[in-house]
Structure 1
Amino acid sequence: MGEQSSGDGRKTGKTAKKVTPAKKAVATGKPVAVKKAASAKKVAVRPSADESRTALVRRARRINRELAEVYPYAHPELDFENPFQLLVATVLSAQTTDLRVNQTTPALFAKYPTPEDLAAANPEEVEEILRPCGFFRAKTKSVLGLSKALTEDFGGEVPGRLEDLVKLPGVGRKTAFVVLGNAFGRPGITVDTHFQRLVRRWKWTEETDPDKIEAVVGALFPKSDWTDLSHHVIWHGRRICHARKPACGACPIAPLCPAYGEGETDPEKAKKLLKYEKGGFPGQRLKPPQAYLDAGGKPAPPLGAA
């Protein structure tokens, strides 16, 4: 498990309508009821050598608050109308873009609208529909398998428990938490490639295993924040903090990022790197990039500031 740290730093060892609670919360402004979700195995949170646990928690939560203002309507970018469609779409999204999935699923759900329909489908016909998503044979096997399991074991309904979801073919913790958080209003952290990249850049954790990342990051936030946190981080990763060339000079959380400078810091050049995806880029709140830097061109205020 390695050494842990005490609080003082000493080492001690949308195009489709979504009929979901999360969507209703956006439309009505009413909070979604939060229910318990199973957590991953516990992993010690290890702040960096120059940052106490308390400072890490404050910085992490401040980043989330900042991102919540930048992306107030962050949500799953997969089109769905019910839990079954979200489950299938999330499985299909592996190794491809949400846009590609959204272009593919309308034909799939028009022909096979229920788990019973998809379970009885001809595999070759499903493969032809899913071909644009890549890995279409494996994905066909997964969606047919999970549809059969839903039909035989759950009465054709998507279960609302993590332990049941992860037993379905092609469904892991990441997919399960997408469904739980957005179809059932139950908190969960979605550790996709964007989430992994950003939390490591922000020095929230040095873990590389998704389950360990989930546990470490989950310990920094109350459970009620987990689902929205996932959306905020993923949206930021898709729009600004890219894998190869992050737009550091246009980033609203530059003062809080230990990795500032890994990408383009020139404000004008950074603006050209911003990606506008479905849902747009809510840039009205963004300050001029130079406002996040001190006279020497470095992030200000100091990292860990409250």
Structure 2
Amino acid sequence: MKIAVTGGPGQLVLSMRERGPDMMHDVVAIGPPDLDLAIGDDEAVFAALCASFDGAGPDAIVNAAAHTAVDRAETEAELAFAINAHGAGSVARAAARLKVPLVHISTDYVFSGDKVEPYIEDDATGPMGVYGASKLAGETAVLAAGGDAAILRTAWVYSPFGANFVKTMLRLATGRDVVSVVADQFGCPTSALELADAAMTVVAHIRDRADPALRGVFHATGTGEASWADVAEAIFADSAAIGGPFASVRRITTAEYPTAAQRPVNSRLNCERLAAIHGVEMPDWRLSCREVTTRLVRSAAFLT
């Protein structure tokens, strides 16, 4: 299957390009300047997707393009909504015109974090900041486009690529004995490599089967839950075991680490619907995080 994945060379785009051949898919990334969702031009988006695969067009689309700078979004609301909401709608309308299935990547930030239990897909949304509000508007735009689409909400993404929490922790540990990490926010750490597999599986199911249950909103995260401090401790333990950098973790509160945008205290997502309907269940985050940590340490890629 020929899959066009939108976005620059970020975590999911690069993970899909790496994992695609293993799943017998030809993955092509389309991002700026060929595809710029900030412009808000439906025809330009449609033309860029049509031009993929040497003009043959894709068999399926995964929309990974997003303004993901959560704090910066608070002062870049117009740009965040242009990409995350209007741009997502443009991609969805293009997919509908091309008559190809679409998987759109969304986020845990569509929720307020006030719920005690993990969130299910039908829970009331309530984003706390611009980033979450723009992504929620993107979900609405994708579903309104009337195409063949599924939305995957994910959270706490890390990988061997781009900027992410695992890389940051390893880099900090090269110069510090103690690293302060927030311990009162909880979520489900997710490997972008595993998310790439999930996205490609879901989009293939939509292409091959007419069952309406395969469409709609799904949660897609690693199995298990943790605080950021828990994840940091796991990273340092796994790194130390193979001779990499490590540090002690000083557990702090959210109040001790103020940010421009509020973070949900509870980012845990219940992924039972994805497992029941698509047969997709990601591995325990500890295993996936160990694999990524090991890869980064052995390649020293966390230094760049």
**Bigger fraction of residues in strand:** 2
- Which has the greater radius of gyration? 1
- Asked if Structure 1 and Structure 2 have the same fold, meaning a TM-score greater than 0.5 normalized by the shorter chain, the answer is no
> TM-score band, normalised by the shorter chain?
under 0.3
* TM-score after normalising by structure 1: 0.27
* TM-score after normalising by structure 2: 0.27
